[in-house]
Amino acid sequence: MFCNKCGGKIDNNKNINNLCPNPDCDKYVFLNPKIAVLAVVQKDNEILLVKRNIMPFYNEWSLPAGYINKWEAPEKAIIREVYEETNVKIKVLKLLDANLNKDSGVIVLSYLTKHIKGPIKIGEECKDVKYFNKNKLPSLPFKNDHKIIDLSFK
């Protein structure tokens, strides 16, 4: 990463912000995080999961999720991501959680949603898509997934 004022190289570490190392420059360069959205899609007592066709956690089941595009509202982003991955149309009910994934530095906004319509069709980022009973879920790779699922049923 480089300073957008003088072009000096910035150390891309875990600092909240960095003063440009060039002693003649007084510019702070902010290392803004990426923001992702995640959905718990409920249908009766079942939860929609996707088998990942991308890294990380290739070939493992997870909740549908993805990055927010520039100028996109988070609620619109989760509707788009779920549709792209599963062909399912959802209704956003509420924000469940917002937290920082300490491994990736990504801020994750987790939403409770419900299935509105659409037959499942597997998107290109997925190997499989299906509903699982909330009490018979496969192993999930992301640390907060079970916490988010628990919050969705409260």
Domain ranges (residues) in the chain: 1-32, 35-152
C-alpha 108, offset from chain centre = 5
Please tell me whether the peptide bond between 56 and the residue prior to it is cis, using omega within 30 degrees of 0: yes
CA–CA separation, 100 and 83 (whole Å): 24
What CATH number was assigned to the domain covering residues 35-152?
A: 3.90.79.10
Whole-model pTM: value is 0.83
pLDDT surpassing 90 at residue 9: no
| Confidence band for 17, pLDDT divided at 50, 70 and 90 | low
The 3 state secondary structure assigned to 106-139 is EEEEEEEEEEEECCCCCCCCEEEEEEEECCCCCC
pLDDT, tens digit (0-9, with 9 covering 90-100), for 95-115: 999 999 888 889 999 999 999
Is residue 82 a contact partner of residue 41, using CB atoms and an 8 Å limit?
A: yes
Span 12-28, average pLDDT = 71
Span 62-71, average pLDDT = 96
* Per-residue pLDDT, 13: 59
CA–CA separation, 10 and 63 (whole Å): 35
pLDDT surpassing 60 at residue 33: yes
pLDDT surpassing 80 at residue 84: yes
Q: Give me the long-range contacts of 100-103 (CB less than 8 A, separation at least 24).
A: 100/33, 101/142, 101/143, 101/144, 103/143
| Among 144, 52, 59, residue whose Cα is nearest residue 98 | 144
CA–CA separation, 21 and 27 (whole Å): 9
Question: Which has the minimum average pLDDT: 27-31, 84-88, 145-149?
Answer: 27-31
42 residue type, one letter: Q
* Per-residue pLDDT, 49: 98
| Confidence band for 73, pLDDT divided at 50, 70 and 90 | very high
The helix/strand count (H/E) of the chain reads as 2, 9
